[in-house]
Amino acid sequence: MFTLFFLVFFVDDTDNLIKGLGDSNFYVRENAQVDLIKKMDFNLYLRLRDIKEKNLEIVRRLEIIKKNYKNKLRLEYKVTIDGYFEYPWIDMIPYEYKGEGMQRCDILEIYLFNSEEIEVFGNKNSCWPSYRKATQRWIKDRIYSYSEELFKKTKSEKDFQDGMNAKIAIIQKDMEAMVIREDDYWKFWNKKNPARIKNKLLK
pLDDT given at position 120: 47
Rounded distance, CA 35 to CA 28, Å? 10
In this structure, are residues 33 and 61 in contact, taking their beta carbons and an 8 Å threshold?
yes
For residue 186, the tally of other CB atoms under 10 A from its CB is 15
pLDDT given at position 200: 45
Contacts of residue 111, defined as CB under 8 A and 6 or more positions apart, other chains included, come to 90, 134, 135, 137, 138
φ/ψ of 81, rounded to 5, equals -125, 120
Rounded distance, CA 105 to CA 122, Å? 21
Which stretch of DSSP H or E encloses residue 160?
helix 157-188
In this structure, are residues 70 and 152 in contact, taking their beta carbons and an 8 Å threshold?
no
Residue 202 in 3-state DSSP?
A: coil
pLDDT given at position 119: 44
φ/ψ of 84, rounded to 5, equals -135, 120
pLDDT given at position 2: 44
Rounded distance, CA 21 to CA 31, Å? 8
Q: What does pLDDT average to over the chain? A: 86
pLDDT given at position 108: 94
φ/ψ of 94, rounded to 5, equals -55, 145
For 6-18, the pLDDT digits (tens) are: 444 445 589 999 9
Task: Please indicate, yes or no, whether the overall pTM of this predicted structure exceeds 0.85.
Answer: no
Burial degree of 154 (CB within 10 A; 0-12, 13-18, 19+): buried
* Closest C-alpha to 138, from 182, 95, 92, 181: 92
In this structure, are residues 44 and 14 in contact, taking their beta carbons and an 8 Å threshold?
yes
Rounded distance, CA 98 to CA 95, Å? 9
Positions of the chain with pLDDT under 70: 1-12, 115-127, 197-203
